[in-house]
Structure 1
Amino acid sequence: MHIPDGYISPTTVIATYAVALPLWIYGLKKLKEKLNEETLPLIGALSAMSFIIMMFNIPVPGGTSGHAVGAALIAILFGPWVGFISVSLVLLIQAVVFGDGGISAYALNALSMALTGSFGAYFVFKIFKNKKFAPFLAGWVGIVSSSFVVAVALGIQPLFWTHNGQPLYFPFDLKTTMVALVGSHMLFFGMVEGIFTQLIYNYLKGKNRELSYEK
């Protein structure tokens, strides 16, 4: 799901950074409220785990890739703002150091994978928190909702930015991106994210019955 440089228009870049910047500022404030000697090691470990699983990019038809994210687990333990900032920092390191995702597309990658994934997973977990499958469902919904945002952002590029009838940026239309991205994440990557979230949550819950640090 990492969008590289050159796939989105300058207009999209400006718009996504304009939306993301105040959210990052507010999210950092919320993160500082949660950090203490108990939470810092776990947030750091889960962020590192998110970094690792996102490095395994699998190409999918339609000009992009898919992978697990790990945002859901952080969000349901510490709240969606902590999930948003943690995964945003992971995405920044990946973009700057490893070239995994473009700098111009960084804000869009953060809004899709970090923000949408965290909030989508968080609210689903809250609704089904008394069910054993809540972590799995939260992980599945979180990553599928992220893929939907990416699919829309990429799919509208050839609708608005063309020259002589040829796309200037991402060339595939909305129908293609929806099938390729959302479909693959519903059937495969969402299952991986859901199982990952369920297993790690259950393991941590077994170690600490009062697991949630979200207030």
Structure 2
Amino acid sequence: MHIPDGYLSPATCLAAYAVAVPLWAVGLKKVRNRLDERSLPLLASLTALSFVIMMFNIPIPGGTSGHAVGAALLAIFFGPWIAFIAVSLALLIQALLFGDGGITTFAANALGMAAAGSFGAWWIFQRLRSYRYAPFVAGWFSAVAGSFLIALFLGVQPYIAVDAAGKALYFPFSLPTTMLALVGSHLVIFGVIEGIFTQLGYAFLKKTDPDLFAEEAR
């Protein structure tokens, strides 16, 4: 689901950075105010886990790929702002060291997988938290929400960046094709994987360290 360099127009990349930079600033402030000696090791561990599971990209039709993210589990235990920063950091390291996702497209990737995934999962979990499988639904929704925004970034390119002959300059697939391939695969495959991962991780962490439960996160 990582967007490489060259897939988005410069205008799209600049717009994504214009939105992401203020959000990163707010998120970093939340990180400084929220973390302590007890919660920092768990955040570091979950961020590392998110980094690892995002490295396993599975190609899908439509010119992109899918994978689990781990944003939902981070959001449930630390709140959406800290999860957003943690997943953004994992994405940045992947882009810089492994070429998984681009630098010009880093903000777009962060808005999709980190922001939409984290805030979407938090929103769903808060409304379903009394239900046993709320973490699964939150994880599933996190993956689908992230894939929707990534698909939107990619799918609008043939409509906003074309040459004189009308040929797409960047990502060539239409919005319906991209939505079907990316969102569809996350609805039935990757979202389910994310949901299972979130449900199991939630049960384990809440049992081993209930004091870190995100009910107190802001």
Scaled to the shorter chain, the TM-score interval is: over 0.9
1:9-49 Cα distance to aligned partner (Å, 9 max, x none): 00001100011111101100001111110110000000000
Q: Which residue of 1 aligns with 2:201?
A: 200
Match of 2:166? 165
Q: Partners of 1:23 and 1:152 in 2: how far apart?
A: 20
- C-alpha distance in 2, partners of 1:76/1:204? 11
Which 4+ stretches in 1 moved above 2 angstroms? 208-211
Corresponding residue of 2:40: 40
Q: How do residues 59-208 of structure 1 correspond to structure 2 at under 5 angstroms?
A: 59-163=59-163, 164-208=165-209
Gap runs ≥5 in structure 2: none
Return the letter of the residue paired with 2:20.
A
Deviation at 1:161, TM superposition (A): 0.7
Q: C-alpha deviations, 1:35-92, integer Å up to 9, x for none? A: 1101100000000000000000000000000000000000011100000000000000
What residue in structure 2 maps to residue 212 of structure 1? 213
Report the AA paired with residue 70 of structure 1: G
Q: Give the distance between the partners of 1:21 and 1:206, measured in 2 at CA.
A: 36
**Structure 1 gap segments, 5+ residues each:** none
TM-superposed CA distance for 1:205, in Å, is 1.4
TM-score, L = length of structure 1: 0.98
Give, in angstroms, the shift of residue 160 of structure 1. 1.2
3-state DSSP of counterpart to 1:59: strand
Secondary structure, counterpart of 1:101 in structure 2: coil
Aligned mates of 1:209, 1:185 — CA distance in 2: 30
Deviation at 1:211, TM superposition (A): 3.8
Q: TM-score, normalised by structure 2?
A: 0.97
RMSD: 0.8
Equivalenced residues, count: 215
